[in-house]
Amino acid sequence: MNARIIGTGSVLPKKVVTNFDLAEIVDTNDEWIVSRTGIKERHVAIEESTSSMATEAGKKALEDAGMTAEELEMILVATVTPDYVTPSTACMVQAAIGATNAVAMDLSAACSGFVFALNTAQAYIRAGIYKKILVIGVETLSKVVDWTDRSTCILFGDGAGAAVVSADAEAGIQDFVQYTDGAKGVALQCDARQHKNLFGTRAFENEYVQMDGQAVFKFAVRRVPESIQKLLDRNQLTAEQIDLYVLHQANMRIIETVAKFLKEPMDKFPMNMERCGNTSGASVPLLLDELNRAGRFKRGDKLILSGFGGGLTWGSIYMIW
Ligand code: UT7
């Protein structure tokens, strides 16, 4: 059995922050941001929280799937920006939607989070343990971004995306690859919480997101095409046979490089970073939901999903819609 996506949902915070807004805060400009990243605006959570966005996206995905919350056996939430250390965001979603028969847990893999969570769902379904799982990618990166650091604050956005997967004998996830390289984790870091107790205090090293942008860029343009090529080869597919590539929305130039490597046209690489920025673990499910609701998928379509980022982590999925 495979995990097949039978419903999707997403949510973006109400507040929109444009490049022009950012140019009033830090020394940057719209032309630099658009040409280096492809981003024009992003949504920033003010009233919304990680758990509220995850809940709303999850509800929409259930509605799209025509499934009740009670039918769910598992809830997986990928996030690096939870509201609480405990309870997990997944447990909060469980309570909010009334998924009384599900077990809920969070998974931390930064921008690869949703892809890794979907792979985890696939493993549970393949093993015959569960049949119906809600997978959510959600981030409130605005709370861990240094709004005085122009090299990072222009990149990120908040949002959530969700997918309901159910066991299917033929369609769904056919194969996946996933990797981590902890030794290179220093390229993208953020402290969880200040080390402080009765006996001493250690200052924050990275209170906010710190990124070696060029190192992450080089890692992505090498590892993402490589992981996709591995999946294609292993499944005797050519790049041309894939209908759509749904890639993490970090940077337009990374996606252009992947398209060039695969010798595929850019219209097979849909993007929403122009409106959403880089929403880390939420970017792949957000884009999936937008495409699904726009009717871009039909039964039997072959898709590749890819996530990459902090950890370092990266992975790709080959699925039949
Ligand atoms: O989702 C997690 C994965 N993350 C990524 O995939 C991010 C990957 N990296 C990137 O997308 C790119 O490295 C960035 C978009 C972050 C940066 O682009 P870049 O072409 O690598 O720029 P750079 O860091 O080499 O900076 C070039 C110049 C520097 O000035 P000097 O030293 O040449 O005078 C920066 O100080 O641009 C300057 N700069 C800016 N200028 C205007 C850096 N940020 C800005 C800014 N506005 N916001």
262-312 pLDDT per residue, tens = 999 999 999 999 999 999 999 999 999 999 999 999 999 999 999 999 999
DSSP string, 44-76: E-SS--HHHHHHHHHHHHHHHHT--GGG-SEEE
Query: If you measure from the C-alpha of residue 211 to the centroid of ligand 1, how many angstroms do you get, rounded to a whole number?
Result: 10
Query: If you measure from the C-alpha of residue 151 to the centroid of ligand 1, how many angstroms do you get, rounded to a whole number?
Result: 6
Averaged pLDDT, 195-214: 89
What is the CATH superfamily name and number for domain 174-320? Thiolase/Chalcone synthase (3.40.47.10)
Cβ neighbours around 265 below 10 Å, total: 9
Averaged pLDDT, 65-86: 98
Q: How far, in Å, CA of 259 to CA of 78, rounded?
A: 26
Averaged pLDDT, 52-56: 98
Q: Look over the chain and give the mean of its residue pLDDT values, rounded to a whole number.
A: 97
For the chain, give every residue range classified as CATH 3.40.47.10. 2-170, 174-320
203, pLDDT greater than 90: no
Q: Are 306 and 228 in contact (CB under 8 A)?
A: yes
What residues contact 233, with CB distance under 8 A and at least 6 apart? none
Task: Kindly name the residue from 119, 248, 251, 276 that is annotated as catalytic.
Answer: 248
DSSP letter (8 states) at residue 199? T
For residue 110, give the amino acid letter.
A
Q: Are 13 and 44 in contact (CB under 8 A)?
A: yes
The length of the chain, given as a count of residues? 321
pLDDT at 205: 79
β-strand 195-197 against 188-189: which pairing, if any? Answer: unpaired
Torsion-angle region of residue 131: left (phi > 0), alpha (psi -120 to 50) or beta? alpha
207, pLDDT greater than 90: no
> Helix, strand, or coil here: 173?
strand
Tell me the best of 24, 146, 151 to mutate to test the pocket of ligand 1, counting ligand atoms within 8 Å of each CB and taking the most.
151
DSSP letter (8 states) at residue 73? S
**Pocket of ligand 1, beta carbon within 6 A:** 28, 32-33, 36-37, 111, 150-151, 154, 213-214, 216-217, 220, 250-251, 254, 278, 280, 309
What is the CATH superfamily name and number for domain 2-170? Thiolase/Chalcone synthase (3.40.47.10)
Q: Which comes out higher in pLDDT, residue 201 or 313?
A: 313
242, pLDDT greater than 90: yes
Q: Using CA positions, which residue lies closest to atom 48 of ligand 1?
A: 150
Distance of CA 117 to the CA centre of its chain: 10
Question: 129-144 b/e with 16+ CB inside 10 Å = b?
Answer: ebbbbbbbbbbbbbeb
Q: How far, in Å, CA of 281 to CA of 229, rounded?
A: 22
Find the helix or strand (DSSP H, E) in which 224 lies: helix 213-234
101, pLDDT greater than 90: yes
Give me 135's structure tokens: 């997978």
Q: Which of 211, 219, 80 is nearest to 150 (CA)?
A: 211
Q: pTM of whole model > 0.85?
A: yes
pLDDT at 202: 85
Backbone dihedral angles phi then psi of residue 43, each to the nearest 5 degrees: -100, 140
Averaged pLDDT, 197-206: 86
Longest dimension (CA), the chain: 61
pLDDT at 309: 97
pLDDT digits (tens, 9 = 90+) for 148-164: 999 999 999 999 999 99
pLDDT at 80: 97
Query: If you measure from the C-alpha of residue 37 to the centroid of ligand 1, how many angstroms do you get, rounded to a whole number?
Result: 9
DSSP letter (8 states) at residue 101? T
